[in-house]
Amino acid sequence: MKSKIIFIVLLMLLPLLISPLVMAPGEIINISVIYPLPDFIAGESVSTMFSFDYPNQSLGYPFQRDDAPLVIVVNINSNDSDYPVWKGDFEVSGEMIVDGFFVDREYEFNCVEDIFSVDYFGSLISINKIPNGTFYCTEDNFLAMLLDSKNQVRLNISSNPALYPGEYNFNVGLYYPENLSSLPDYFIYSPLNKTYESRRVRFNLTLDNFADYLGFINLNDKRPSWKTLCRDCYDYGYTNKKLKSLNEGWNNLILRVIDDYGQRREERISLFIDSKKPIIHKTIPKQNKYTNGNDFYIKYSEDNMVNVSVLIWFNNSVEIFETGCQESGRKQECYFNLDLSVYEGKEIEYQIEIWDVIRNVLSRKTRIKVDVVNPVVNSFEKEVNKRKVKFKFNISENNFDEISYSYEDYRGRLKGGKLCTRLIDGICEKKKSFRSGVYNMTFVVLDKARNKAEFEERIEISN
């Protein structure tokens, strides 16, 4: 009969024994101090007890959590602000009496003053922060702990013989590690999502909590890999300036922080680096030359070109012209025209300005003379004497440069040359010899700004 009863009991327990041990945690409720903490006398020890309930109403049987330890936080404060609690004023130890599923069990606690976090296996990590009388306690064998209602905790608190006599307050809390210490959050001062003019970029980060690991990866590296900034730290580059070398161009970074529980938080930052200034190799017009605005030229090198503009200086005022030059690369050449008609007959200065994504570079000021008016041919005469021809031009032009002629010979080859490079009272006279035949000549009158007057004339030559 007894064996039959035992068999029935085992059948009833079987679903509980084979059920998964890791369940959703219940709530810690009804924390109550059984024995109030008395006033401390230096060198004495006292004990106090409190209880808490941990019902798992949905399951109805004890809960075992094996993914993290239960942490008891004990805080002792002095009622006298002139005598705060410092590290070493107290020592705390304790035991937990668990109302287990089968029998009550007692577990000893390890308590450390002013720790910051608890690792996966319940080990307490001491950081030695500014002490404030806070103790963190966790069971030595939490994997075997079963929590249900009416759990009792006995705390043994001893005081240092040098403790200031007075009243001290006591309070207690129970936490799981993820509630005790939240995942650290970033305060990123640098790098930011912007453009930098140096490959050496400052890393300046602080955390609102202690981090086991802080590092980054640059996805634009040839072989991206995680780089450690610091371990067991609160900041990197905040108290001491820290620089990292990044790539020219785009840098897509992932910053990662990991806490003591392996939890991680990541932040993505995209920044652009342009560390090379634009280079201006050559500009036209040259110093003291004439221009009609149609002969501007620049040769430059810039990988991240934005635009090229021209600054025209006259009488201490400046006018800006856009050029349309936007090609990036080494030794790029760009020709462009400017409307300078308002400066006709004036001397002006110009600068060419190149903008990349972060900075500008200016050429030196160059003085030039403006002439946008074409030469005027008042009259043209020719006198043919056998193979010789006498040409006579009457020209109106203050900045005269030359008169040239051109024609195609009987073989279709282009021939020609200069007739005059200076005028005498506006007159150019010149004699030339030609073979017999008919010539369709083109005459071009140029000034120093390359403005021109052009016309054609038919000439017959006979022996």
> pLDDT tens across 113-160, in order?
654 444 444 444 443 333 456 777 765 444 334 454 566 777 788 877
Distance of alpha carbon 62 from alpha carbon 358, whole angstroms: 65
Q: Tell me if 74 sits within 8 A of 89, measured CB to CB.
A: no
Where the chain has pLDDT below 70, the residues are 1-42, 52-71, 80-83, 98-107, 109-110, 113-133, 138-151, 166, 173-184, 260-263
| 254, two tokens | 């992932």
Is CATH 2.60.40.10 the right assignment for the domain spanning 186-273? Answer: yes
* 3-class DSSP state of 95: strand
Whole-number pLDDT of residue 139: 56
User: Which of the listed CATH numbers 2.20.28, 1.10.287, 3.30.70, 2.60.40 matches domain 24-180?
Assistant: 2.60.40
Q: Tell me if 6 sits within 8 A of 13, measured CB to CB.
A: no
Question: What single-letter DSSP state applies at residue 193?
Answer: S
Q: Are strands 279-284 and 296-302 parallel, antiparallel or unpaired?
A: antiparallel
Q: Tell me if 255 sits within 8 A of 269, measured CB to CB.
A: yes
Whole-number pLDDT of residue 234: 84
The answer, as to whether pTM is greater than 0.85, is: no
Helix H or strand E segment including 7: helix 2-17
Distance of alpha carbon 419 from alpha carbon 337, whole angstroms: 29
C-alpha distances (whole Å) from 92 to each of 36, 45, 130, 433 are: 16, 10, 18, 122
| 158, two tokens | 């001893």
Distance of alpha carbon 246 from alpha carbon 219, whole angstroms: 11
Q: Provide the mean pLDDT of the chain.
A: 77
* Nearest residue to 251 (alpha-carbon basis) of 201, 324, 179: 201
CATH code for residues 376-461: 2.60.40.10
Distance of alpha carbon 419 from alpha carbon 343, whole angstroms: 31
Q: How far apart are the first and last CA of the chain?
A: 154
> pLDDT tens across 431-449, in order?
999 888 889 999 999 999 9
Distance of alpha carbon 386 from alpha carbon 392, whole angstroms: 17
Whole-number pLDDT of residue 144: 35
> pLDDT tens across 91-105, in order?
888 777 765 444 455
Helix H or strand E segment including 30: strand 29-33
Question: What single-letter DSSP state applies at residue 342?
Answer: G
Q: How far is Cα of residue 387 from the mean position of the Cα atoms in its chain?
A: 79
| 268, two tokens | 């993505």
Q: 24-180 with 186-273: one CATH topology?
A: yes
Instruction: Identify each DSSP E strand in 40-120 by its residue range.
Output: 45-53, 71-78, 90-98, 105-113, 115-118
Q: Tell me if 243 sits within 8 A of 202, measured CB to CB.
A: yes
Instruction: Identify each DSSP E strand in 219-303 by its residue range.
Output: 227-236, 243-245, 249-258, 264-273, 279-284, 290-291, 296-302
Q: Tell me if 186 sits within 8 A of 215, measured CB to CB.
A: no
Helix H or strand E segment including 16: helix 2-17
DSSP character string of 140-181: TTGGG--B-SSEEEEEEEEE-TTPPPB-EEEEEEEE-HHHHS
Helix H or strand E segment including 459: strand 452-461
- CATH homologous superfamily of domain 279-370? Immunoglobulins (2.60.40.10)
Q: Where are the domains of the chain?
A: 24-180, 186-273, 279-370, 376-461
CA torsion, points 232, 236, 242, 244, in degrees to nearest 10? 80
Distance of alpha carbon 397 from alpha carbon 373, whole angstroms: 9
Q: List, in order, residues 6 or more apart from 173 with CB less than 8 Å away.
A: 31, 72, 73, 75
- C-alpha Rg value of the chain to the nearest Å: 46
Q: What counts of helices (H) and strands (E) characterise the chain?
A: 2, 34
